[in-house]
Amino acid sequence: MHTIRLLLFAVLILAIPAASFAQFGVSITIAPPALPVYEQPMVPAAGYLWTPGYWAYGDEGYFWVPGTWVEPPTVGLLWTPGYWGWGGNAFAWNEGYWGAQVGFYGGVNYGFGYGGVGYEGGYWNNNAFYYNRSVNNVNVTNITNVYNKTVTNETTVNHVSYNGGEGGITAHPTAAEETAAHEQHTPPTAMQTQHVHAASTNHALLASVNQGRPAIAATAKPGEFSGQGVAAAKQAGAPYKAPATENKAAESKAAESKASENKAAESKAAESKATENKAAESKAAESKATENKAAESKAAESKASENKAAESKAAENKASENKAAESKAAENKASENKAAESKAAESKATENKAAESKAAESKASENKAAESRAAENKATENKAAESKAAESKASENKAAENKATESKAAANKATAPRANENKAAKPKAASPAAESKTPTTAHARPAPKPAPAAHAQPASKPATVAHAQPAPKPTPAAHAQPASKPATAAHAQPAPHPAKEAPKTEEAPRK
């Protein structure tokens, strides 16, 4: 059947002008069924355009492609439906397309604005599509771009789905449609292609099954063949007449089924006979095998008994030998283990002892270091305390010495006037010899060093008494005497400035 279709299509191609070739798809000599009567589902959203349903052809004959609402590939485009056209020897399908203008679609009255010429279902204005409510099912609550224009609808009278040939529509393209056919076109969208494919795989949409009245005549969106958006055909557009090829196909199918049944019966009988023969052969073979098996089993048992006895004896001998070997090995192993354990214990004890000794030495070193540090700290503290005590003692002694010195100085100071008085009184009682010796004595001592000369005098002299006591200020005492006193009295007391007193000694004789 497929080969015949290809031949017819090849003949049709030769008869079609080259300019129109691109519009044609498959071709077939059988006319498509009439268009079914159905209602249009409500438009799902603004911008969707209606694409009417049509009969397509497949491997199992004609099948219905439901009409559906589709989004155009670009704003501003309109849909030109495809159609079946007679080419003289066969029907060929002219594919639909998108374009700026609606072209020729065979004069087929698909309804819903596609009355055979042009499109009266709506138009584009400022990138918005306006729907004609008279031919479209529009919810004016959701879509406000609507208008109402009456359109003559002849779908109740004419449901022919093809152009030309016997019983076909005798329409020809107008000049405007010819122009539109030569303009730039856009092929069906991917959603439209998927929609057609889904219809081709739905067995219920075959014309031979639904008799021209498909249960899915239209859908709200492409490929949605179930739900509230699906509309079923109310009736077929005309009584369905099954093509002769379908009857022939049914007869062939029945013949094939009969042949298959007969073949199955023969095969079953042959299989049954073969099964019986096989069962008899299997039974005989099983009996022979059973006898052979029994003999073999008996011989095998005898052989097995002999082998078992020999194996048992050999096993016993082997077991005895293995046991002895195992015992010896166990004893050796035990000895080795014991020696190893002893050695390990000794090594462990040595290690522990070394560790303890090391720990003790470390502890002793730490204790010794701690004691040394403590002793050093104690010695430092004691030394600091002793130094502090010595400093305190020295300070106390120095204070005491200073105090004693001050006391002694005070005492000497108090005693000095009395000594001076005594010295002053002594010259008055002196003898003339002493007075005459005075100048000589004064000249005998060197004038620049009176202090040593004073110390050299005997202790009985008044000057010695004056020098025995510490006198921080002896000079004032000397000056306290009157100038008329003899020079001897002046030399008897210590004088820090003897040069000044010497002249006094020299002047004494002049008086």
* pLDDT higher than 80, residue 473: no
Tell me the pLDDT band of 414, cut-offs 50, 70 and 90.
Answer: low
* pLDDT higher than 70, residue 142: yes
Q: Rounded to the nearest 5°, which phi and psi values hold at 37?
A: -95, 125
Taking the C-alpha atoms of residue 437 and residue 443, their distance in angstroms, rounded to an integer, is 10
* pLDDT higher than 60, residue 203: yes
H or E stretch covering 65: strand 61-65
pLDDT for the residue 26: 55
pLDDT for the residue 99: 96
Pick from 39, 424, 64: nearest CA to 211 = 64
Taking the C-alpha atoms of residue 135 and residue 50, their distance in angstroms, rounded to an integer, is 11
What is the overall mean pLDDT for the chain? 75
Are the C-beta atoms of 61 and 246 separated by less than 8 Å? yes
Name residues whose C-beta falls within 8 Å of residue 242's C-beta, 6 or more positions apart in sequence.
Answer: 208
* Residue ranges per structural domain of the chain: 2-242
Least trusted range by pLDDT, from 267-276, 298-307, 495-504: 495-504
Are the C-beta atoms of 240 and 207 separated by less than 8 Å? yes
Concatenated DSSP letters of 428-470: GG--HHHHHHHHHHHHHS-TT-HHHHHHHS-TTSHHHHHHHS-
pLDDT for the residue 31: 93
E strand residue ranges, 198-357: 218-219
pLDDT for the residue 258: 65
Concatenated DSSP letters of 159-214: ---EESSTT-B-----HHHHHHHTS--BPPPHHHHHHHHHHHT-GGGBHHHHTT--
Tell me the pLDDT band of 364, cut-offs 50, 70 and 90.
Answer: confident
Name residues whose C-beta falls within 8 Å of residue 108's C-beta, 6 or more positions apart in sequence.
Answer: 35, 81, 83, 114, 116, 160, 161, 162, 163, 169
Tell me the pLDDT band of 331, cut-offs 50, 70 and 90.
Answer: confident
pLDDT one-digit tens code per residue, 118-140: 999 999 999 999 999 999 999 99
- Give the DSSP letter of residue 30: S
Mean pLDDT within 74-97: 95
Mean pLDDT within 453-472: 41
Concatenated DSSP letters of 72-88: -SSTT-EEE--EEEE-S
Radius of gyration of the chain (CA): 77
| Whole-model pTM over 0.85 | no
pLDDT for the residue 369: 74
> When comparing pLDDT for 252 and 445, which is higher?
252
Are the C-beta atoms of 143 and 157 separated by less than 8 Å? no
Taking the C-alpha atoms of residue 50 and residue 404, their distance in angstroms, rounded to an integer, is 141
* pLDDT higher than 90, residue 461: no
Are the C-beta atoms of 132 and 116 separated by less than 8 Å? no
Are the C-beta atoms of 25 and 95 separated by less than 8 Å? yes
Mean pLDDT within 453-479: 42
* pLDDT higher than 60, residue 468: no
Are the C-beta atoms of 106 and 162 separated by less than 8 Å? yes
pLDDT for the residue 66: 98
309-325 b/e (C-beta count within 10 Å ≥ 16 → b): eeeeeeeeeeeeeeeee
- Give the DSSP letter of residue 509: G
